[in-house]
Structure 1
């Protein structure tokens, strides 16, 4: 799958005539674990679209505008996009990037299944204008630059860990945007969420861990529990499943665990059974637990193409 420019036509979102970019400036996307990453380079007065990779399902598109100046058009709204800006788009909605200078754009396709976000949080993040501020963007931008440069060099297991890191940081972007900050007098609620998450982490092994048991342990109502988690970008059930999968994935990746059975890991982290665990793991990471466990550190052959900026 290639990142494609829009050849000499009038764009329906902006009504602006555009010409195609030099094909040498368009780089194909590559796999990074369960993500796809790619880079577009193009001259001024070009317009780019980013088609979805085959089989990815619902996804968010994360963009880093690396150099040049451009205008991002989403839902018929034009927004300036400057070097260093990040943006997130819902993959179900069309977008166009119109370059006013020679530009470089890094893109990451993230399956929704890998993000612990509610639909409301994902929508709010995709509505956010291009940005470079906050506590997460300054970390995520340099990471994306390095990832697109070095994708062919990563061993499969390393690539999956890095994909998980990117997904976690994108989740934090949504939480950061939704977090009202300390000035709203809600420090007590944030402290309670930290205690709730710590309680979940300490009881992941317990198959009886449910929203009701978590609420009871902290002496709050289930309704208030759900409200707290929704304001921090997740649901209680989704967070429990996410943390169980994350810990199971880490255990399967540890050296010397080749003889660890999937059933044993499923039981250790509170899943109802090996079949349920395997289905959940494949839905989240695009492969079975046994395949993830059996990945070796053999590096894939380097792909052709120049280094990204």
Structure 2
């Protein structure tokens, strides 16, 4: 019998099912709707949550994650993914190594084939908090982030230490660490999606897609950045540009908005930018309307830009007190 608790995301209560929580699990509720689960129990299994609705059609065998070495394995469980997802499709087995960071869907967790000495550290949070669309989730869970990658080398030890210290940290420090973890996971998710877009395209499109993504990143502050300007710069039709992004499960506009929001959120936490108004930050990263910026920021992250800035600033002030 499973029970249901709640976690708070930007003032909204979100149900958390304890189905799949073994007696050996340690659970810590953090700010921003982040829950941390540490599990040593055998057999190893990932925390799961009931989807809000069932999907028609038969469910294929879930993906199997295989580990042959003892050690720590890091997982990021994404909530609020099920409403627009199709039924399961067969997925190949994936071999993991210690320190890997693996995103997964809490409504459709992978099956683990792990040694007895493995320890799982799982971070559960809403995909909205990371600025992800539902269509991003299948691509994000396709492959792990290894500790030898650029961001994996930074985040793997940080997340491991954070999971261990969260339970004993005083409130102010815990709040600041939770904000840092969510911010870094958002960056990791965006970077991992970009790597998937660059690395999984057929050879004829990979260089073009890479150039397009770099072009967008360099011009996020340009309010005139649009599918038309991007297509013209790369000597392709707007229709073909949309086709490239549609095959990646996203749109040009959605990607531009996600990148801009991520940059604005980052700047809003910098002490060097504390004198910049919300409107100035929005304009700096290509939002022509402060009202529109505040609306999409709240819809994506569950809180207003000013609340996000205040939360980050309070964590810094109280941690340093």
- The normalised TM-score by structure 1 is 0.64
Local SS of the residue matching 2:219: helix
Of residues 131, 144, 148, the one that matches 2:163 is 148
Change (3 A) 1:198 1:276: closer
Is 2:106 the partner of 1:91?
Answer: yes
CA contact (8 A) 1:86 1:131 kept: yes
What aligned pairs does 1:85-234 form with structure 2 within 5 A after superposition? 85-94=100-109, 97=112, 101-115=116-130, 121-128=136-143, 132=146, 135=149, 138-139=152-153, 140-151=155-166, 152=169, 154=173, 156=175, 159-180=178-199, 184=203, 188-190=207-209, 192-203=211-222, 206=223, 208-229=224-245, 234=250
Local SS of the residue matching 2:122: strand
Local SS of the residue matching 1:201: coil
The corresponding residue for 2:30 is 31
For residues 69-128 of structure 1, the C-alpha deviation after alignment (integer angstroms, 9 at most, x for no partner) is 99x9x9898967664454332233255657662542111224323456665552144355
Provide structure 1 residue ranges, at least 5 long, that are not aligned to the other structure. Answer: 8-20, 55-62, 301-309
Instruction: List, as ranges, runs of 4+ consecutive aligned residues in structure 1 with deviation greater than 6 Å.
Output: 63-66, 74-78
Q: CA deviation at 1:219?
A: 3.6
Change (3 A) 1:117 1:256: closer
For residues 255-306 of structure 1, the C-alpha deviation after alignment (integer angstroms, 9 at most, x for no partner) is 2655543334334433343332222112222221111222322447xxxxxx
CA contact (8 A) 1:118 1:233 kept: no
Q: CA deviation at 1:169?
A: 1.8
Of residues 228, 242, 258, the one that matches 2:258 is 242
C-alpha RMSD of the superposition: 4.5
Provide structure 2 residue ranges, at least 5 long, that are not aligned to the other structure. Answer: 6-15, 53-64, 76-87
Higher radius of gyration, 1 or 2:
1
Distance 2:302 2:141 in 1: 24
- The normalised TM-score by structure 2 is 0.62
Aligned positions, number = 270
